């Protein structure tokens, strides 16, 4: 049955889109951190902290596609993780560049609406599941150089506590 979306459904759509983009940005940031470590810094502690943050800032300007090309050129990711990130990029590109013109008409049917909502839920879930996968690669990299990942964990916990106003 064809019908216009109810305002509540439109809000759900917007919420799904926002959650997807937000979680994809976390994935991008984690990937940029990993690439900065593996490609630029190479040995944890070899670069002064301020220089390391400058290198990270440079990587953060890259798009997901550029980051994936960099990762491929430098063989910086396990193949399975690279494949998952490439699929995420394709879905992200659909969301950001094509979803409106490809699926706007679909949203006028109950089945189509549910299909789009499910696709967005799946995209968000994959972005969320990729975050710890990339974090694990970071942990493995720093620990392979004899550096404990506990310091990074403590820094992250302190930054989160500060954001929450607990410091």
pLDDT at 166: 84
CA distance 4 to 108: 5
CA distance 156 to 91: 29
pLDDT band, very low/low/confident/very high, at 131 (cuts 50, 70, 90): very high
Is pLDDT of 159 > 90? Answer: no
What's the whole-number average pLDDT of the chain?
A: 94
Q: What is the pLDDT of residues 30-61, one digit of tens each?
A: 999 999 999 999 988 889 989 999 999 999 99
Q: 38: number of CA atoms within 13 Å, CB side?
A: 23
Q: What is the pLDDT of residues 61-78, one digit of tens each?
A: 999 999 999 999 999 999
pLDDT at 164: 92
Q: Which of 58, 2, 1 is nearest to 32 (CA)?
A: 58
pLDDT at 110: 93
Percentage of the chain beyond pLDDT 90 is: 81
Is pLDDT of 89 > 80? Answer: yes
- Residue 28 has a CB neighbour count (10 Å cut-off) of 22
**pTM, full prediction:** 0.90
> What is the helix (H) or strand (E) element at residue 94, kind and residue range?
none
């Amino acid at each position: 049955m064809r019908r216009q979306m109810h305002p509540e459904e439109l809000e759900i759509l917007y919420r799904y889109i926002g959650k997807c983009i937000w979680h994809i940005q976390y994935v991008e940031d984690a990937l940029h951190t990993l690439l900065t470590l593996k490609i630029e810094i190479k040995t944890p502690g070899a670069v002064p902290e301020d220089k390391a943050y400058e290198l990270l800032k440079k990587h953060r300007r890259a798009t997901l596609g550029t980051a994936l090309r960099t990762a491929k050129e430098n063989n910086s990711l396990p193949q399975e993780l690279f494949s998952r990130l490439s699929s995420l990029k394709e879905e992200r590109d659909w969301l950001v560049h094509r979803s409106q013109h490809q699926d706007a008409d679909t949203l006028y049917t109950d089945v189509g609406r549910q299909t789009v909502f499910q696709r967005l839920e799946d995209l968000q879930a994959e972005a969320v599941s990729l975050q710890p996968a990339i974090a694990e690669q970071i942990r493995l990299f720093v620990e392979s150089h004899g550096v404990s990942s506990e310091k990074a964990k403590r820094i992250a916990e302190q930054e989160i506590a500060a954001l929450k106003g607990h410091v």
